[in-house]
Chains A and B, each alone.
Chain A
Amino acid sequence: MSHTGEPAELAERGEAGDEALAEAVPRDLTPLVAELRAAVGDGWVYTQEHQLRTYESDGLLQYHVIPGAAVLPGSAEEVQAVVRACAQAEVPWVARGAGSGLSGGALPIEDGILIVLSRLKRVLDVDLENQRVCVEPGVTNLAVTAAVAPDFFYPPDPSSQIVCSIGGNLAENSGGAHCFKYGFTTNYVCGLELVLPDGEMIQLGGKELDPLGYDLMGAFVGSEGTLGIATKAWLRVMPAPETTRTLVSFFDTTRQAGEVVSEIVQAGIVPGAIEMMDKLAIQASEEMAHAGYPVGRGAALLIELDGAERECEARFDEVVAICEKCGSDDVRVARDEAERQLFWKTRKAAFPAMGRLSPNYFVQDGVIPRTKLPDVLERLDELSEEYGMRVANVFHAGDGNLHPLVCYDGRVEGEAEKAEELSGLILDACLEAGGSITGEHGVGVDKKKHMTKMFDEPDLAAFQRLRCAFDPAGLANPGKVMPTPRLCGEVPGPYRIHPLEAAGLAERF
Chain B
Amino acid sequence: MTTERPGSPEEAAELLRSLGEAGKAVRPRGGGTKLDWGGVGEPIAIELETGGMAKILEHNVGDLTAVLQAGLPLAEAQAAFAEDGQMLALDPPLGPGDAATVGGMVATGDSGPLRHRYGGVRDLIVGISLALSDGTLAKAGSKVIKNVAGYDLAKLFTGSHGTLGLIVTVTVRLHPKPVGNATAVGASGDPEQLAKAATLLAGLPLEADSLDAAWHEGSGRLLARFGGATAGDQAASTAKRMRDAGLDGVQTIEDDEELWAALRAAQRRPDGVSLKVSGRISDLASAIRAAEDAGGALVSRAAHGLSWITLDSGDLVRRVSGVRDALQPRSVVLQDGPAELRREVDPWGPLDAGALVVMKRLKERFDTTRSFRPGAFVGGI
Contact = CB atoms under 8 A, between A and B. Distances in A.
Contact of B281 (A130, A210, A367): A130
A465 B363 CA distance: 10
Given A128-B203, A371-B60, A467-B151, A211 B136 contact: no
Most buried by A among B147, B233, B364: B147
Contacts of B357: 200, 202
B148 A438 contact: yes
B351 A239 contact: no
A181 to B, nearest CB: 10
B30 to A, nearest CB: 19
Contacts of B228: 268, 311
Contacts, number: 268
B150 A463 contact: yes
Given A202-B354, A214-B156, A215-B159, A439 B148 contact: yes
14 contacts: A129-B203, A131-B202, A209-B278, A211-B278, A212-B333, A222-B152, A223-B152, A238-B205, A439-B147, A465-B365, A465-B366, A468-B365, A469-B361, A491-B365
Contact of B362 (A210, A214, A434, A435): A214
Interface in B365-380: 365-366, 368, 377-379
A218 interface: yes
Interface stretch (B41-49, B62-70, B240-248, B262-270): B62-70
A122 B358 CA distance: 28
B122 A218 contact: yes
B138 A458 contact: yes
A222 B361 CA distance: 20
Q: How large is the interface on A (under 10, 10 to 19, 20 to 34, 35 or more residues)?
A: 35 or more
Contacts of A89: none
B324 interface: no
B282 A129 contact: yes
B307 to A, nearest CB: 11
Shortest 6 CB-CB distances between A and B: which pairs?
A218-B155, A268-B176, A202-B354, A462-B138, A371-B62, A465-B365
A187 B362 contact: no
A109 B95 CA distance: 53
Contacts of B176: 265-270
A286 interface: no
A137 to B, nearest CB: 18
Given A200-B354, A268-B228, A314-B230, A370 B63 contact: yes
Given A202-B354, A455-B139, A469-B362, 16 more contacts: A131-B202, A131-B203, A131-B303, A151-B203, A173-B148, A210-B306, A215-B158, A266-B176, A267-B176, A269-B176, A369-B144, A396-B146, A401-B146, A435-B143, A436-B148, A463-B151
A402 B306 CA distance: 37
Contact of A210 (B64, B278, B361): B278
B142 interface: yes
Contacts of A396: 146
Interface in B253-284: 276, 278-282
Contact of A454 (B64, B149, B229, B304): B149
Contact of B205 (A201, A241, A314, A434): A241
Given A196-B354, A219-B155, A399-B146, A369 B65 contact: yes
Interface in B133-188: 136-140, 142-156, 158-160, 164, 175-179
Q: How large is the interface on B (under 10, 10 to 19, 20 to 34, 35 or more residues)?
A: 35 or more
B24 to A, nearest CB: 20
Interface in B113-142: 119-120, 122-123, 130, 132, 136-140, 142
A456 B109 CA distance: 27
A35 B239 CA distance: 63
Interface in A408-459: 434-443, 447, 451, 454-456, 458-459
A195 to B, nearest CB: 10
A182 to B, nearest CB: 10
A74 interface: no
A491 B359 contact: no
Contacts of A209: 120, 278, 304-306
Most buried by B among A130, A240, A465: A465
B151 A212 contact: no
Nearest to A442: B148
Contact of A436 (B130, B147, B199, B202): B147
Given A209-B278, A268-B179, A434-B144, A462 B305 contact: no
A367 B85 contact: no
Nearest to B367: A465
B213 to A, nearest CB: 15
Contacts of B304: 209
A442 B151 CA distance: 11
A492 B148 contact: no
B352 interface: yes
Contacts of A459: 138-140, 150
Contacts of A441: 148
Interface in A144-182: 151-152, 172-173, 175, 179-180
A307 B205 contact: yes
A242 B164 CA distance: 43
A153 to B, nearest CB: 10
